[in-house]
Structure 1
Amino acid sequence: MKTSRRHFLMLSVGVGSSLALSRAACAETANRLSEADPNARALAYVEDASKVDKAKFPSYAAGQTCANCSLFQGKATDAYGGCTLFGDKQVAARGWCSSYTNM
């Protein structure tokens, strides 16, 4: 089967755009804050606020999440967003840390 130049170019564009999308997805995942990160550990960051040790952090109240913290820089509907405490790292909207504030 002979491949035309037009078919080759269309295939190349499709493959190139797929690679760009997967690279962007990897970069987004790589930029997420890990609970093992030293700064995250210092502030007791957890990706799931339901896992906060309430005995260790009595200031935690049900419903407190990064999404409704005044330091969260994403939209309330975003799964991950920026936080002024963690630089360019993305925090989970459903997460929590000991610096939670809603002022």
Structure 2
Amino acid sequence: MKTSTDRRRFLRLTMAGIIGITLGDQILQKKALASTELAHLEEDDPQAAALKYTHKSPHADQHCSNCMLLQGNEGDEWRPCAIFPGKAVNAKGWCSAWTAKPA
């Protein structure tokens, strides 16, 4: 019986360690993202130009803030976008990769 108890204790401690490492890593990643300011995407950036990105959407019902590719905090003027890694796009902007958020 002692072996069974030791095995259970070992498994519990191992799982607790894995969960602690995972949560700690996620917290550190969020803090790192919050502390770094992303450069704003320029309209003349080659990738932005290829996707016809503009800081102000030409469409009344299509803009970055209602695109499913936009990331970051709701309400922020400049936010990260999955299409333009390492850059922030204007929430009022638009590009040809615009995809409606699911309802």
Task: List runs of 5+ in structure 2 lacking aligned partners.
Answer: 1-35
Helix, strand or coil: the match of 2:74?
coil
* Of 86, 89, 92, the match for 1:88: 86
Matches within 5 A, 1:1-103: 28=37, 31-49=39-57, 52=58, 61-102=59-100, 103=102
Q: Alignment length, in residue pairs?
A: 66
Q: Distance in 2 between matches of 1:82 and 1:62?
A: 21
C-alpha contact 1:67 1:74 (8 A) present in aligned 2: no
Name the structure with the higher helix share. 2
The alpha-carbon deviation at position 97 of structure 1 amounts to 0.3
| CA offsets 1:12-53 (integer angstroms, 9 cap, x no match) | xxxxxxxxxxxxxxx84x70000000000000000001xx3x
Tell me the TM-score normalised to structure 2 length: 0.59
The alpha-carbon deviation at position 62 of structure 1 amounts to 2.0
Q: Percent identity?
A: 42
User: Greater CA radius of gyration, 1 or 2?
Assistant: 2
Task: List runs of 5+ in structure 1 lacking aligned partners.
Answer: 1-26, 53-60
Q: Distance in 1 between matches of 2:72 and 2:56?
A: 17
Name the structure with the higher strand share. 2
Tell me the TM-score normalised to structure 1 length: 0.59
**Stretches of 4+ moved more than 6 A in 1?**
none
